[in-house]
Amino acid sequence: MKTSILAGALIALGASTGISGAADALTLQLKWVTQGQFAGYYVAKEKGYYDEANLDVTIKPGGPDVAPEQVIAGGGADVIVDWMPAALAAREKGLPLVNIAQPFKASGMELTCRKETGIAAPADFKGKTLGVWFSGNEYPFLSWMSKLKLSTQGGADGVTVIKQGFNVDPLIQKQADCISTMTYNEYWQVIDAGLPADQLTVFKYEDQGVATLEDGLYTTEAKLADPATVDKLARFVKASMKGWQYAAANPDEAATIVLDNDTTGAQTEEHQKRMVGEVVKLVGDSDGTLDTKAAESTVAVLMGGGSDPVITKQPAGAWTSVVTDKMKTLP
């Protein structure tokens, strides 16, 4: 009898304190290497926010040889961080990716040019050499050039495109007149390389009306068909946004947490502190809910690619609020 009473008391205690069984495992695949761009997720793990949500989260860094879309297609992740252009392109090719949350409200993409090249406005790109990232990152650029009616095949009336590595060497070595940069990363690499801001002309995609959504959270239609998985994802998004809020309030500590998780030793404290400070500006006051107007604007940019658009038709079912709606009902 005493054993039964004790067991009943323990069950009741567990119910009242929210104790449940083993934590739910979830794997997050990042778009790039461990850096301040993903600070919110590392902070959420370090501060125990995922533990509080009864989640056992594994964060997998990306890199130049890692395509998040391929990782999730192969079952190597439950959620990926991806840019919407790449996700929509993959969806049109048959991979049923769905945006479930959008931590980044604004784009950090820009084109940075040497002022000495005479480039003062987009019209001056004609005849110039521009460095561009590929592997899915080229889509916003190609749509922008199409909007400007500039061929990317070179010549006096077009632009010459060089495949830019994930560095700023083409600008420093004058192999390109402009290169792709992010507000939180490569732009500062240019500054650190010795080119001061007054010798640069910067074109932000946001200012040019060709910005697309970056660093959203994506899963597959199959996973969303399971209510238990939706609940798990809702807990993940809520805990992640708590991590982003903490990073915004404590950017230096967040940068230290990122550095502690960088197994390569390639990152520096100064650069990561600066990166976190810039990245949280892009997150802003987001609670993770996708702004559908921003998504529709991204689609319009991608479909405006002239004879060779990134996507050829309006995507159906490419984003859902089911996870963030569920998130808002959580205690």
What are the pLDDT digits (tens) for 93-146? Answer: 999 999 999 999 999 999 999 999 999 999 999 999 999 998 777 888 988 998
Residue 93: inside a domain: yes
Is the domain of 160 the same as that of 240?
A: no
Is the domain of 127 the same as that of 217?
A: no
**What CATH code is carried by the domain that includes residue 290?**
3.40.190.10
Q: In sequence order, which residues have a C-beta less than 8 Å from that of residue 217 and are 6 or more positions away?
A: 79, 80, 81, 99, 100, 101, 102, 103, 237, 240, 288
Q: For position 142, what pLDDT does the model report?
A: 87
Q: For position 20, what pLDDT does the model report?
A: 54
Residue 10: inside a domain: no
Residue 50: inside a domain: yes
Q: For position 5, what pLDDT does the model report?
A: 40
Q: For position 131, what pLDDT does the model report?
A: 96
Is the domain of 101 the same as that of 217?
A: yes
Among 162, 184, 208, the domain-final residue is 208
Cβ atoms of 235 and 53 closer than 8 Å: yes
Residue 271: inside a domain: yes
Is the domain of 52 the same as that of 88?
A: yes
Is the domain of 99 the same as that of 118?
A: no
Q: Return the ∠ at Cα 56 (arms to 63 and 320), rounded to 5°.
A: 70
Measured distance CA(49)–CA(106) in Å, rounded: 25
Is the domain of 84 the same as that of 223?
A: yes
Q: In sequence order, which residues have a C-beta less than 8 Å from that of residue 111 and are 6 or more positions away?
A: 130, 141, 178, 179, 180, 181, 202, 203, 205
Is the domain of 169 the same as that of 245?
A: no
Percent of residues, the chain, with pLDDT higher than 90: 82
Among 208, 223, 245, the domain-final residue is 208
Is the domain of 26 the same as that of 41?
A: yes
Among 151, 179, 208, the domain-final residue is 208
**Count of domains observed in the chain:** 2
Quote the domain boundaries for residue 139.
109-208
Predicted structure pTM score: 0.90
Is the domain of 120 the same as that of 204?
A: yes
Residue 218: inside a domain: yes
Is the domain of 67 the same as that of 153?
A: no
Q: For position 143, what pLDDT does the model report?
A: 85
Q: For position 307, what pLDDT does the model report?
A: 64
> Residues 144-153: pLDDT tens digits?
998 899 999 9
Residue 167: inside a domain: yes
Residue from 52, 2, 37 nearest 239 by CA: 52
Residue from 29, 140, 141 nearest 77 by CA: 29
Residues of the chain with pLDDT under 50: 1-19
Measured distance CA(14)–CA(299) in Å, rounded: 47
Residue 132: inside a domain: yes
48: left (phi over 0), alpha (psi -120 to 50) or beta: left
Is the domain of 95 the same as that of 124?
A: no
Neighbours of 207 (CB within 10 A): 10
Residue 264: inside a domain: yes
Is the domain of 119 the same as that of 102?
A: no
